């Protein structure tokens, strides 16, 4: 064990480290016209997150010299790291080098290292080194070259107004390699090794954003400010994020995560590690553990539940057959729903979804089923059964459960939400959950059975 002078240790513990402010400047006409969606900044955010940094602000402008110079001048004055993305290409609308030279007031010169890279690049490909390409070697005096394994344009960096500026290519795979192999390691090297940012993400279903907020306000009123709470409403899943950046936050997190988990109850599907799982994946995991097979009998969702299951690789272990019985006649022909039950109760009824589930189970020999029948709209509603009404039946042959919901969504959202509810009811069933979910707050109508 090496000894460390006392003062230095104290410094590390007591002096708060200033986290560098990172900003992005994205340039490109195509980013302004709606022709492409910017995926580069999400990639950058992910990679910065890995080294404990977050992007504070990003600005996107077209390829306009005056605007670029303005933004560079201002952004370097308010940040510690500025990533400029795009505008390194050979055409006249690629202006990054020129704008940077103007902003930091240096000459543009031909950079020998950039010329060597470009010459090798062309040689290896047997292409001619033409005048437009040569533009990519004319860079601000005094800048450092950043290798580009995948393209003809090198990156470059320079320090100005106490800000490290990195100029990067707009082509996603060139950017990715340059960030991973050059820029992120270089930045990480300069950081103190004690970043404390810690993030926990939870997948939640069956609660809206405002109901969740209310639940936390009421049941956990003393939530500590050291744990930042964030929500992201997805369709269908809600994501809850707990972020701590201080030691105190880190210590408080475990007990408060436990309290939150308890408060969320069955609404909590899982903690997210890596790529979030879909609802179908969670269900298939549970089914595979128990060696069970599932079948679907769908009317109003028209195959969407089956397609969500089969979207998952390996779903054939647990799913063999799905029945899309859209008409009454086909409910009878495919899964033996009695015409009398249909005539007596109507297609959107408890009796019919029970018969659908039973029929699908018998025909497919699966262990559990989900059956749905509802009115997706915009037409087909009545006073008794308005648009948005849906009956669900789920479970095994001898243990079928049912629920009726009235959902306030338009057709496609209705179908997606019913699919999510169906998968969630089966998840709860497999987890032997006893609580009754309330998917639409107090919207259930008629009352659940």
Footprint of a second copy on residues 144-163 (CB under 8 A)?
A: 150, 152
Min separation Cβ 64 and a second copy, Å: 8
| Residue of 112, 192, 265, 408 interacting with a second copy (CB under 8 A) | 408
Instruction: Pick the binder of a second copy from 11, 271, 290, 311 (CB under 8 A).
Output: 311
91 in contact with a second copy (CB under 8 A): yes
How many residues sit in the footprint of a second copy (CB under 8 A)?
104
Looking only at residues 269 through 308 of this chain, which bind a second copy when binding is defined by CB under 8 A?
296, 298, 300-307
Q: Can you list the pairs that 256-265 forms with residues at least 24 positions away whose Cβ atoms lie under 8 Å?
A: 256/220, 256/223, 256/224, 256/227, 257/200, 259/220, 260/202, 260/216, 260/220, 261/202, 263/215, 263/216, 263/219, 263/220, 264/202, 264/204, 264/207, 264/215, 264/240, 265/435
Query: Of residues 49-68, which lie at the interface with a second copy (CB under 8 A)?
Result: 49, 54-62, 67
Name the residue nearer to a second copy (CB basis): 154 or 158: 154
Q: How far is CA 445 from CA 236, 349, 404, 422, in A?
A: 20, 13, 7, 17
Neighbours of 299 (CB within 10 A): 26
Applying CB under 8 A, among 96, 133, 203, 373 the residue interacting with a second copy is 133
Q: Phi, psi at residue 390, to the nearest 5°?
A: -145, 135
- Which one of 96, 203, 402, 415 is in contact with a second copy (CB under 8 A)? 415
CB of 285 to a second copy, least distance (A): 17
The least distance separating a second copy from the CB of residue 428, rounded to whole angstroms, comes to 22
Give the nearest distance from C-beta 12 to a second copy in angstroms: 28
Structure tokens at 265: 């109850």
**Alpha carbon of residue 292 to chain centroid:** 30
Interaction with a second copy in 313-332: which residues (CB under 8 A)? Answer: 313-316, 319-327, 329-330
Closer to a second copy by Cβ: residue 186 or 409: 409
Work out whether 251 is an interface residue with a second copy (CB under 8 A): no
Q: Is 87 among the residues that bind a second copy (CB under 8 A)?
A: no
Neighbours of 64 (CB within 10 A): 16
- E runs forming strands in 225-299: 228-233, 238-244, 268-272, 294-298
Q: Which residues are bridge partners to 24 per DSSP?
A: 58, 83
Q: How far is the CB of 76 from a second copy (least distance, A)?
A: 16
Question: Among 17, 127, 141, 382, which residue interacts with a second copy (rule: CB under 8 A)?
Answer: 127
Separation of alpha carbons 409 and 387, rounded Å: 9
* Phi, psi angles (nearest 5°) of residue 18: -80, 125
Among 112, 192, 378, 446, binds a second copy (CB under 8 A): 378
């Amino acid at each position: 064990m090496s000894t460390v002078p006392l003062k230095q240790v104290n410094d590390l513990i007591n002096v708060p480290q200033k986290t560098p402010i990172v900003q992005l400047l994205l340039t490109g006409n195509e980013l302004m016209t709606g022709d492409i969606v910017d995926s580069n900044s999400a990639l950058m955010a992910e990679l910065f997150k890995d080294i404990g940094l977050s992007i504070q602000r990003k600005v996107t402008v077209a390829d306009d010299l005056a605007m670029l110079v303005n933004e560079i001048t201002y952004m370097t004055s308010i940040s510690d790291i500025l990533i400029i993305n795009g505008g390194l290409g050979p055409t006249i609308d690629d202006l990054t080098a020129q704008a940077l030279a103007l902003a930091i007031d240096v000459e543009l010169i031909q950079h020998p290292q950039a010329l060597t890279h470009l010459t090798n690049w062309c040689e290896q490909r047997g292409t001619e080194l033409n005048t437009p390409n040569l533009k990519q070697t004319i860079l601000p005096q005094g800048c450092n070259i950043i290798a580009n394994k995948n393209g003809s344009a090198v990156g470059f960096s320079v320090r100005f107004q106490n800000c490290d500026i990195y100029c990067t290519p707009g082509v996603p795979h060139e950017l990715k390699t340059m960030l991973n192999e050059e820029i992120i390691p270089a930045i990480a090297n300069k950081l103190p090794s004690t970043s404390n940012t810690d993030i926990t993400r939870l997948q939640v279903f069956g609660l809206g954003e405002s109901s969740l907020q209310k639940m936390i306000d009421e049941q956990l009123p003393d939530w500590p400010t050291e744990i930042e709470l964030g929500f992201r409403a997805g369709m269908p899943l809600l994501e809850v994020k707990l972020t701590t950046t201080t030691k105190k936050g880190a210590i408080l997190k475990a007990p408060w995560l436990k309290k939150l988990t308890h408060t969320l109850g069955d609404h909590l599907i899982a903690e997210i590690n890596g790529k979030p799982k879909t609802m179908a994946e969670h269900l298939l995991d549970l089914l595979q553990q128990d060696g069970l097979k599932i079948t679907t009998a769908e009317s109003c969702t028209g195959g969407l539940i089956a397609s969500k299951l089969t979207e998952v690789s390996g779903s054939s272990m647990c799913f063999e057959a799905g029945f899309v019985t859209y008409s009454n006649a086909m409910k009878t022909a495919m899964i033996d729903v009695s015409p009398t039950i249909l005539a007596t109760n109507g297609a959107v009824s408890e009796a019919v979804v029970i018969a659908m589930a039973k029929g699908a189970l018998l025909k497919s020999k699966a262990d559990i089923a989900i059956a749905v029948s509802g009115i997706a709209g915009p037409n087909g509603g009545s006073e008794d059964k308005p648009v948005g009404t849906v009956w669900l039946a789920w479970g095994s042959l001898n243990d079928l459960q049912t629920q009726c919901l009235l959902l306030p969504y338009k057709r496609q959202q209705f179908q997606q939400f019913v699919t999510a509810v169906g998968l969630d009811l089966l998840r709860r069933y497999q987890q032997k959950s006893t609580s009754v979910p309330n998917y639409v707050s107090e919207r259930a109508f008629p009352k659940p059975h």
